[in-house]
Amino acid sequence: MGQFQSLLVDIPLQDNPSHHPPPQLSLKDSLWLGQFQAMASDCQILLEGVDQLQAETFLKLATIETWRIEHKFSRYKTGNTMDQINHAYKQALSVDDETTALLNFADQCYQLSDGLFDVTAGVLRKIWKFNGSDHIPTSQQIDEILPLIGWHKVHWKAQNIKLPEAMELDLGGIGKEYAVDKVRLLLQKKIPQTKDCRILINFGGDLACSGPRLNGEAWEVAVESFQHEKHAALNVKLNQGAIATSGDSRRFLLKEGVRYSHILNPRTGQAITDAPHSVSVAAPSCMQAGILSTMAMLQGRGAEDFLTAQGADFWVQRS
Amino acid sequence: MQLINSKSINESANSPATKKASQSFKKIAPALAAASCSLLGITDAIAQEDNGEWKFDVATLIYAESDSRVIAAEPVFNATKTYTDGEVLNVKLVFDTLTGASPNGATPSNTAQTFTRPSGNGQYIVDPNESPLDDTFKDTRGALSGTWTAPIDRDWEYTVGAYGSKEYDYLSLGLNGGLKRYFNQKNTALNFGLAFSADTIEPEGGNPLGLARMATPGTASFDADYDASRADSSDNKTIIDAIFGVTQVINTKTIMQFNYGLSLSDGYLNDPFKVLSVIDSSLGPNYGGNYQDGGNNVYLYESRPDSRMKHTLFWQTKYALDNGDVIDGSYRFMLDDWGITSHTLDFRYRWQLGDSYLEPHLRYYMQSEADFYKRYLTSDEYTANSIKEASSDERLSDMSAYTIGLKYGYKLSKTKEFNVRAEYYMQSHSGDNGFGQLASQDLYPDSNAIIFQVGYSF
Amino acid sequence: MKFKYIARSTSCLAIALALSACSNIGIKPWERDTLSRPEMQLIHDAVEAGLDDHIYFSKEASSGGRSFGGGGCGCN
């Protein structure tokens, strides 16, 4: 058995609409590691119990699916589904089953969170610029933009969507977690019945696994510490399910000693001031974990109490 | 998940605010889990089962009627496999062993009665004042059926199935298919089904000719008489069933179904084992006694129409209570062109007790008699040859029936369950009470049966 | 023949009414957790339902309702 270095996996042009560099496959301590870029994150797939050909196939499938989701729901592409939705002002737009499912999910999260989770809140980025400076928006600026926020104002019924003028949808808050879950499902379906294969997916700190490692032990993942001073990586052990992390990752505004995190309250248009540096939640799926961690951040000082009340496994960093 | 450096968790867990916290925050975790599942296309049911694995049910039913009547044992073996794309394959094997005696349709008499066995081989004698029962019924039946259900797309689903059953003198083969259309985010489902069945009846000795006279055992002319009472040696029956149904989710705890069914049968619909007594209606010493011709009692084989059309309306509701109990109620109305109207009310209450459950069951059934139902024929009718169709089969009479039962189930694990049920079925009939000597006989004895079933699912 | 027409037209009307009224009744996909429980399925125990259907079909003049009438067993 020769020494395996690493190879680049070929992805056809039509499956790479964002022109990312090709994914890379390497072998690390009997584990296959596949790496690629997507959604402004380092994406990794760890595979155990497969041969090289299967590892290449799985990495290819995972990359194509992630890039597909990225391209479809990105706010920055012209002509994609998201762009069409964000211009559906005059006429209702009919969307496909996948988009319908995502919007239904967003609808339910809006109701469950009493409006704190709101996919129409993306317009707030126009007045809140998180660059470490002290420019916080004025109350007049906030008052002007608040009418453009509110999922209940969107016309969403039976696969047809129409937005009031100047409103926008932003699925960035759930896009990465959705991709993690979809890729996990996709790869699990491809594992032959006779094979014992384990998978760990890590898209920039949003993780999901198909079960413990083949030796029965948990996966050990290094999660970036969001502590401002220390850069020590944190080791997390994952046996089953998924972990999602919400963090401020150094995006904040500091004015008169008050730290305004980039977590914004859609109801008031204000930034949450007592938000933790990061919240990590474990749940059966990455989407669940992601929503819980986002909602926890929105509770500011009450993040831990909120997660305790939900009975979730979690870890909060505040300093 | 195990976290190293879980300082924050310990702190918040010990904080006095924790208890207060769970009270002030709405519990969203379960609804969120359900929302994620439906987004990712995984339903609770599939998530709970091992995807792609077989699920088996084995059960045995024992059915025992009072007064030395029918005893039946029926083992069932059922296997279901659910595939990852939502397709379902089901295979079922049933055996049916029947012994005991069934009413042959004749009336009891104050003298002994002798009947020819339906096969022509042998006879049986019924004591005076006893209900005439034919104990020829020793039979074993085997049936195999398979169905395949698969989604066509998000809104459509189809089913195809085949069925075969064989017993000594009866063969049945069938095909069925169905289409289901979902509406309104799967809150409404419209179902259409069609089944076609072809049956062949070949009793030993051949099928009797309708309203032909039963040959009297022990007479010189028995062989000739027996042959004269026979029709073709085999006869067929075809049945077409159609069903139209609507299933509707009413709210998070309630679901309803409403079906209309149409059934058309054509061919040999008689029961080859049933006869009618001819009762002497001439005034005299034998008024109300068995009519005799040539010194022997006259019994005629029954004769039913050769077609039947049934309409059925069915409504069912299931309601889940907050404590996990389930109420299940249904009503069925049937109307056919034989003049029978029936009503069925069925009620079950599932009482959840942790890993086990108790389910009491009540059923009420009522039917009106068929147009051609006659408990007996009179000699006037016989000699005038005025009756074209008649049957004294108690299953076609005015009837009411009650079932009361209790089922107990115990879940050994998420996928394994053991259950046992016991039910008591009471049926009573009514109709023309006869005249003369016949009026002193009990023409409509109640029939009661015990039903006992043990089952195991894994 | 008359009742056949009446029954058929009544049921067609009932289904049409049910459908039109049904377009707004219902629940969201994520509210299905109670209804997806096995004991909430319309036919929860198919084996028991099949055995009972066979008994009542053999002893009474009616059959079916939930599924196809008759079992092809020669019980008449």
Q: What is the pLDDT of residues A280-319, one digit of tens each?
A: 898 999 999 999 998 898 888 888 889 988 888 888 887 6
B-C contacts (CB, under 8 Å): 223
> CA quadruple B81, B86, B87, B93: dihedral positive or negative?
positive
Q: Check if the beta carbon of residue B43 is closer than 8 Å to that of residue B51.
A: no
Instruction: Tell me: pLDDT of A222 over 80.
Output: no
Report the pLDDT value the prediction gives residue C14, as an integer from 0 to 100: 58
Proportion of chain B above pLDDT 70, given as a percent:
91
8 Å CB contact between A244 and A253: no
- CB-based contacts of A267-274 (< 8 A; 24+ apart in sequence): A267/A115, A267/A116, A268/A142, A269/A124, A269/A127, A269/A137, A269/A142, A269/A143, A269/A145, A269/A146, A269/A149, A270/A142, A271/A128, A271/A136, A272/A297, A272/A298, A272/A300, A273/A300, A274/A300, A274/A301
Output the CA torsion A124→A126→A132→A134 (10° steps): -90
Between CA B81 and CA B92 the distance in angstroms is 12
- The conformation of residue C40, written as its DSSP 8-state character, comes to G
Q: pLDDT tier at C29 (50, 70, 90 boundaries)?
A: low
Q: In which residue are the tokens 């592409």 written?
A: A77
Ranges A100-114, B52-66, B192-206, B393-407, most confident: B393-407
Determine whether the interchain pair A239/B2 forms a contact, defined as Cβ–Cβ distance below 8 Å.
yes
Q: Does A112 reach chain C within 8 Å, measured CB to CB?
A: no
Asked if residues A18 and A11 have their Cβ atoms less than 8 Å apart, the reply is: no
Whether the CB-CB separation of B169 and B141 falls below 8 Å is answered with no
Cα–Cα distance, B110 to B106 (Å, whole number): 13
Tell me: pLDDT of B15 over 50.
Answer: no
Cβ contact B356:B408 at 8 Å: yes
Our CA angle for B3, B32, B180, nearest 5°, is 135
Pull the structure tokens for residue B250. 């009413």
Kindly list the partner chains of chain A, i.e. chains with 3 or more CB atom pairs below 8 Å.
B, C
**DSSP structure string for A268-310:** T-PBPSS--SEEEEEESSHHHHHHHHHHHHHTGGGHHHHHHHT
- Residue B393: Cβ-neighbour burial (10 angstroms; 0-12, 13-18, 19+): buried
Which pLDDT score, from 0 to 100, does residue C17 have? Answer: 59
Q: Look at C62 and B135; give whichever has higher pLDDT.
A: C62
Residue C67 contacts B where some CB pair is shorter than 8 Å: yes
Q: Output the DSSP codes for B304-343.
A: --SEEEEEEEEEEEEEE-TTS-EEEEEEEEEEETTS-EEE
The pLDDT value recorded for residue A292 is 92
pLDDT of C4-19, one tens digit each? 666 566 655 655 555 5
> Is C2 in the B-facing interface, judged by CB distances under 8 Å?
no
Residues B38, C60: C-beta atoms closer than 8 Å? no
Rounded to the nearest 10 degrees, what angle do helices A172-190 and A97-112 cross at? 130
CA distance C2 to chain A (A): 41
Above 70 in pLDDT, residue B265? yes
DSSP string, A188-200: HHHS-TT---EEE
Residue B151 CB-density burial (10 A; 0-12 exposed, 13-18 middle, 19+ buried): middle
Q: Residue B14 above 70 pLDDT?
A: no
CA distance B424 to B406: 9
**Using an 8 Å Cβ cutoff, are A252 and A130 in contact?**
yes
Between the alpha carbon of residue B30 and those of residues A123, A185, B241, B326, B355, the distances in Å are 30, 21, 43, 21, 21
B172–C72 CB contact, under 8 Å: yes
Bridge partners (DSSP) of residue B373 are: B391
- Tell me the pLDDT band of B18, cut-offs 50, 70 and 90: very low
- Cα nearest neighbour of B84 on chain A: A189
Q: Which of B15, B36, B42, B48 to mutate to test the interface with A (most CBs of A within 10 A)?
A: B36
Distance from CA of B235 to the nearest CA of A (A): 50
DSSP letter at C72 equals S
Q: Give the closest-approach CA distance of C18 to chain A in angstroms.
A: 19
pLDDT single digits (tens) A16-26? 988 899 999 99
CA distance B250 to B188: 9
Q: Is this prediction's ipTM beyond 0.90?
A: no
Cα separation, B210 vs B276, in Å, equals 11
> Looking at beta carbons, which residues of chain B come within 8 Å of C7?
260, 311, 313, 335
Across the interface, of C7, C30, C74, the residue whose CB is closest to B34 is: C30
Q: What is the DSSP letter of B66?
A: S
- Pick among B90, B310, B394, B417 to test the C interface (most C CBs inside 10 A): B310
B111: pLDDT confidence band, cut at 50, 70 and 90? very high
- The nearest alpha carbon in chain C to B315 belongs to C65
**pLDDT(A133) > 60:** yes
Residues of A in contact with C30 (CB under 8 A): 104-105, 108
Which chain A residues touch B35 with a CB distance below 8 Å? 104-105, 108-109, 112
By mean pLDDT, which of B165-179, B202-216, B280-294 is the weakest?
A: B202-216
Q: Is some CB atom of chain A closer than 8 A to the CB atom of B48?
A: no
Measured torsion, CA atoms of residues A51, A182, A179, A73, in degrees rounded to the nearest 10: 130
Q: Please identify which residue in the block is written with the tokens 């399925």.
A: C41
| Closest-CA residue of chain A to C23 | A158
CB A8 within 8 A of CB A20: no
**Residue B267 contacts C where some CB pair is shorter than 8 Å:** no
In this predicted structure, the answer to whether residue B42 has a pLDDT above a threshold of 60 is no
Cβ–Cβ under 8 Å, residues A175 and A70: yes
Query: Radius of gyration (Cα) for chain B, nearest Å?
Result: 29
pLDDT surpasses 70 at C30: no
Q: Which amino acid would we find at residue B230?
A: R
Q: Which residue pairs, CB below 8 angstroms and at least 24 apart, start in A183-188? A: A183/A45, A183/A62, A183/A65, A183/A66, A184/A208, A184/A209, A184/A210, A184/A242, A184/A286, A185/B40, A185/B41, A185/B42, A186/A61, A186/A62, A186/A65, A187/A45, A187/A58, A187/A61, A187/A62
In the predicted model, what is the mean pLDDT of residues A173-179?
Answer: 90
Q: Write b or e for each residue in B3-39: b if 16 or more Cβ atoms lie within 10 A of its Cβ, otherwise e.
A: beeeebbeebeeeeeeeebeeebeebbebbbbbbbbb
* Residues paired with residue A261 on neighbouring β-strands, in sequence order: A252
Residues 6 or more apart from B117 whose CB is under 8 A from it? B123, B124, B134, B136
DSSP letter assigned to residue C38: G
Minimal CA–CA distance to B265: which of B308, B231, B233?
B308
